[in-house]
Structure 1
Amino acid sequence: MSTSAVPHPSTRPGPQRRRGTRGPRLALAGVAAAALLLAGTAPAVAGQHRDDGRPPHLTAATPGPLLECASLAGFGFDDTVVTGAALVPAGALSHGGEPIGAHCLVTGRMNERVSDVDGNSYAIGFEMRLPTEWSGRYLYQANGGIDGTVVTATGAVGGGESGLQQGMAVLSSDAGHAANQNPLFGLDPQARLDYGYQAVGTLTPMAKALVEAAYGRGPDRSYMTGGSNGGRHTMVGAARYADDYDGFLAIAPGFNLPQAAVAQIWGAQQYATVATTAADLATAFTPAEREVVAGAILRRCDRLDGLTDGMVQASDACQRAFSVDRHVPTCVGGDRDGTCLTTAQKAVVRAVFAGARTSGGEEVYSSFPYDPGLTQPGWAGWEFGASVTLDPGALGFVFSTPPADPGVLADLRGYALGLDVDAAAEAIYRAGGRYTESAMAFMTPPDPTDLGTLRDRGGKLMVIHGAADAVFSADDTADWYDALDRAERGHAERFARYFEVPGMGHVSGGPATDRYAALAALVDWVERGVAPSSLVASVNPANPVLPADWSAGRSRPLCVYPAVARYRHGDPELASSFVCAGGHGRGGH
């Protein structure tokens, strides 16, 4: 994508699929031979082997003890200032109710400068936690939102795991700006680029050097993980930094985040047309009305996986089976009483789930799947809250070229509801003047279907997304995987796998089994060649939105897309009673 001009609409990349029309995986004769030829073009790497045309297998990390801590206060690296280094005793931090072991905490900043655009001071702030009992692994913890905060480097994201608890040396950063600079850091061109991808490239060699200083050797294996914007960082990393990392775990990745921001604001404008209280978008689609829609989805789709259990595993089939117009009661006379939707409400809900469009009908972002998880409060928070508070600031100052006038901060809601979506959809592709890269260039993977470097050196990518995510669409992620699989001639699963979580909202939560050990599975895949055929996921008993009739011990398999968890026999609360099979137009794994 050119960064010097707005592309013609016909040349802009964008969503190509509506949910329920996913095409079959290509079955090509001679694919194995082609894969062998492709794999053979990469240089051999010590400790790797190739099997049947599959990507190379990386050797396992070797544990080691922490050798230095306090002396790391004097650690030297280009454009880096270390501000502290101290031992943190075991139990001072915990994760999931379990103590984290003793580790060394190093804090600092890189690339301090004063902007010649806004006169503010910028730096890439970071902290790194180095366990005394080290696994031999390094983990880059990519953080969410629009960054700006050095989140505690426990390596925790989605799923319930902690990389630090697993003995990984973990790095966390603010991606190049402070929280009090949000969202106006977008006025500074370098801060935009750091936030988009360059902070990762800057921090990575420093972090590995710090690991070497602490343990006497560099990391044997390096990983990257994050959820939401952190998932976007991870997807970008898999495309840009595959030489530096061996495994990537992306949760709810907003890898088309600028498009999603425009779509969120467009959605807010649609909801405003049916809101009963002008100041409260949530009155457009109340909790009671969302329960009505969720109930209709379940009546049509719950049984499609072979078991009526309050979950929709067969999501693709559901999108074909369910219709808001036909299956949700219509309010008689237009009166809303919480048991129906008006004709106007149905039109809005249908449009929002179908995906944002310009006034000329061009797609802005992806469709969203209908899922009963839309009842959770977090879903409403993204649709009716963030869409008029967070998204307009990010779009106006970070994703648009030129940026908006700072005066719009006085009324972000008014800015969002009055936004010219057609112009906004163009501005995220525009570059010019001091802004040398468009938002769609610096925020997204350069080519999300070209992961040849990752593939050929034995790296692996796992992506997990909730079907009820209201801000970043699981449809968009499935669409990406379909395109990657086509580019890989039907063999993307050799190095990349996607798992969809029914009912799960953004990153976690919702009526879902949202606890799973994906990071451990990624390590097994990268270092032992054990590809995950599924992940066992369980409920979080502390989740306040779990239905009352669900067992606190409920578990389900998360299947490798496009396979679906289908009930076979046995205890309906246990994952072992299900099998991953089928999928729209495809065989199981």
Structure 2
Amino acid sequence: MKICYILAIVLPCFAENWCPGHAPTSTSRCSNSTLSHALPQGAFIETTKEIRNGECFGEDTYSNIFYAVLNDTNVCRNAQDSGSCNYAVHLPPSCALIVNMGTYRFGIIMPTTWSGSLLTVGSYSYGGGINWKDMWTGPKYYKLATISTDTGHNSTQPDMAWARGNKQAQKDWGYRSIDGSTKAGKALLVAYYGQNSLKHAYYSGCSTGGRQGLKQLEVDQTLFDGLLIGAPAWNQTHMLPWITRLATINPPGQASSIFNSGSDITVIPSRIRDACDGLDGVRDSIVSRPDLCNITSVARNNLTCGAPGVPSTGCLSSAQADTLIRLYQNYTISNSTGRYQAFTPPEPGSEADYSVYLSPGSTIAPDGFDWQWEIDFLDYPRGYNFSDDIVTDAAKADPGSATARPRNTDWNAFNARGGKLIMYQGLADGLIPAKSTNSYYEQMSIAASGATDSFSRYYQVPGMHHCFASDKDSTKYFAPWMFGGMGQQTYATIAQTESILGKGDADMLTALMNWVEGKSAPASIRATTWIGTTTTIYRQRPVCPYPQRAEIIDPSNIDSATSWVCR
């Protein structure tokens, strides 16, 4: 098992003139004396700074902040720190604050030229620290005041000691920090801009950030008008034990059946991709129809040594093929009434994410983030032996009340006030399986009595990994995956990102804002990938609202979005 370090730069959006700006009457309003009265009792402003055009803002390098991992002197160009940094960069003239709410903190950037709306950005995994480097595109390209919280702690991802025996810290991470930071942020906007009303409040997050947004909808349907949710880790109590269970499929000491070397694992993604690529009728190095990919057949006929046409090197033993097949089986456990499905498997085509939870001949590593969660959130002893009882214990405890429950959310109330929700999910995501997000959407539909079309859209993205990127060769990503989702600009250049930002048919956040503000509901969204670091487009394709899929209508040019239609 390996630790999954999920890094990101905020969702990209470029819309310099998308609506009129609102400026404070004086930059002197960016002061503690002017703004502190807007905060709830016990909260206080730690830092206030007026930002000049092009400057950065954030916190210095810390070894215990999950987000302080970026080494790029261009990104940190105005910071004295030329190495790792945790900054919002390339900012327009703004007022930036760090606010201490007692048990958690948040940062807020209020641009001088303001659209009148707010964006709250989510976090990643269990790491702490304000997510400054996901905040800058909100003020720069949308003219949105932008907020992010540290969720109540500073830590790297595998360090969850802050949660052990601390139920209040778990709740801050689970939901309270997003709720409280956004409410306090709204009050600061009124104090700073001198206006009595906020136009709209938006949210964007992927992975844990996706979970945070969905949990907030359960807690309060009025805080956000529009939410963009990617690959949500919504089912905490079942997902984490599932990840640990996957590692137990590949234990040491069973040499005939486990993956003993990196080559055993690295050969698998390309073989499965080659076998299942053309099931949608197009050979493009993308598994667009994983539902048609028979993993048992592929393991036996395309990967097992001795099968017709399988090379004698870079193949799996029959026992190893059995192990591979088990990775794609439903995780079922027993209860008093029989067996039930505890969690869903990943889709064929997601094999590049094996490194998240599976190492050659691994034991259950004590530094895996799933293992740490079970120790620090469930108070399990170090060295415990995994069993299915963990699922039962986790479901009873629901540490931090972090699990987002679609059947407990008042979707009718959200719909009645004009709220909008867009969800997206990579079909090649091996960390948050697409079937998990499907399950949330289906339960939401039941809870909303089938009225989801009036307030929500769900997009499945063929070939996309967890939140961003796809399988690739030395010059390009195969699957179009860039559409303005949280963290996607991590894998794109500034020029590439700015070619997408703010274009409603290519940017999901712009599409969401347009929908909230009275325009039509989004149809397909055009996803993009490029040749290397250039702005030369390699491939574009429509991402379709579920349950539609993109189908080819012009096989002569499979790389053009116009050659595809949603059906």
TM-score by length of 1: 0.73
Amino acid at match of 2:342: V
1:102 aligns with 2:68: no
Q: Report the alpha carbon displacement of residue 65 of structure 1 after superposing the two structures with TM.
A: 1.3
Change (3 A) 1:493 1:273: farther
Contact 1:284–1:345 (CA under 8 A) maintained in structure 2: no
Q: Is the 8 A contact 1:508 1:514 kept in 2?
A: yes
Of the three residues 538, 558, 572, the one matched with 2:558 is 572
The 5 A counterparts of 1:174-253 are: 174-179=150-155, 182-186=159-163, 187-217=165-195, 218-253=197-232
Alignment-derived partner of residue 130 in structure 2: 150
Report the CA distance between 1:342 and its aligned residue.
2.3
Instruction: Say if 2:200 and 2:225, in contact at 8 Å, map to a contact too.
Output: yes
Residue identity opposite 1:72 in structure 2: S
The range that moved more, 251-260 or 556-565, is: 251-260
Q: 1:438-587 residue pairs with structure 2 within 5 A? A: 438-439=398-399, 441-445=401-405, 447=407, 450-511=410-471, 512-516=479-483, 517-542=507-532, 552-569=537-554, 571-581=557-567
Deviation larger for 268-277 or 100-109 = 268-277
Q: CA deviation at 1:446?
A: 6.2
Name the CA distance, whole Å, in 2 between partners of 1:281 and 1:135: 55
- Residue number in structure 2 paired with 1:166: 142
Q: Secondary structure at the match of 1:463?
A: strand
Unaligned runs of 5+ in 1: 1-59, 112-122, 409-414, 432-437, 545-550, 582-589
Change (3 A) 1:264 1:323: same
Match of residue 302 from structure 2: 328
Change (3 A) 1:63 1:153: farther
Between the aligned partners of 1:267 and 1:163, the Cα distance in structure 2 is 41
Give 1:65's aligned amino acid: A
AA of the residue aligned to 1:533: A
**1:216 & 1:350 partners in 2: Cα distance?**
61
Deviation at 1:359, TM superposition (A): 6.9
Distance 1:196 1:556, change over 3 A: same
- Cα 1:312–1:446 change in 2 (3 A) is closer
- 1:247 Cα deviation (Å)? 0.4
> What residue is the counterpart of 1:345 in the other structure?
320
1:92 match: secondary structure: coil
* Offset, 1:365: 1.2
Query: 2:48 is matched with which residue?
Result: 85
Q: Would the aligned equivalents of 1:258 and 1:395 in 2 still touch at CA under 8 Å?
A: no
Unaligned runs of 5+ in 2: 1-17, 57-73, 78-88, 472-478, 484-506
- Counterpart secondary structure, 2:559: coil
Instruction: Report the CA distance shift for 1:426/1:61 in structure 2 as closer, same or farther (over 3 A).
Output: farther
Shift of 1:193: 0.8
**2-structure distance, mates of 1:275, 1:64:** 66
* Code of the aligned partner of 1:430: K
Change (3 A) 1:490 1:124: same
What's the offset of the Cα at 1:439?
2.8
Distance 2:423 2:358 in 1: 23
Cα distance in 1, alignment partners of residues 253 and 138 from structure 2: 43
TM-superposed deviation, 1:182: 3.4
- 419 and 486 in structure 1: CA distance in 2 versus 1, 3 angstrom threshold: same
Cα 1:529–1:552 shift into 2, 3 Å? closer
How far 1:523 sits from its partner (Å)?
Answer: 0.2
> SS of the residue aligned with 1:358?
strand
- Return closer, same or farther for 1:492/1:253 CA change in 2, 3 Å cut-off: same
Q: In the alignment, is the contact (CA less than 8 A) between 2:152 and 2:173 conserved in 1?
A: yes
Superposition deviation, residue 178 in structure 1:
2.0
Whether 1:404 aligns to 2:380 is yes
Alpha-carbon distance in structure 1 between the residues aligned to 2:76 and 2:354: 24
Residue number among 386, 391, 396 corresponding to 1:425 in the alignment: 391
Whether the 8 Å CA contact 2:206–2:231 is kept in 1: the answer is: yes
Which residue matches 2:66?
none
Q: Secondary structure at the match of 2:270?
A: helix
Q: Taking structure 1 as reference, are residues 563 and 278 closer, same or farther at Cα in structure 2, changes over 3 Å only? A: closer
- Contact 1:271–1:284 (CA under 8 A) maintained in structure 2: no
Separation of aligned partners in 1, 2:314 and 2:519: 52
Secondary structure in 2 aligned to 1:556? strand
CA positional deviation for 1:207: 0.5
> Can you list the C-alpha shifts for 1:439-465, whole angstroms capped at 9, x where unaligned?
384332363664222111110111111
1:107 is matched by which residue type in structure 2? I
Structure 2 distance, partners of 1:440, 1:176, is: 12
Identity among equivalent pairs (%): 22
* Aligned-residue RMSD, C-alpha: 3.4
Q: Is the 8 A contact 1:106 1:127 kept in 2?
A: yes
The SS at the match of 2:558 is coil
How far did residue 165 of structure 1 move? 2.2
Q: 1:319 to 1:555 in 2, by over 3 A?
A: same
- Note if contact 1:428-1:440 (Cα within 8 Å) is conserved in structure 2: no
Q: Is the 8 A contact 1:274 1:344 kept in 2?
A: no
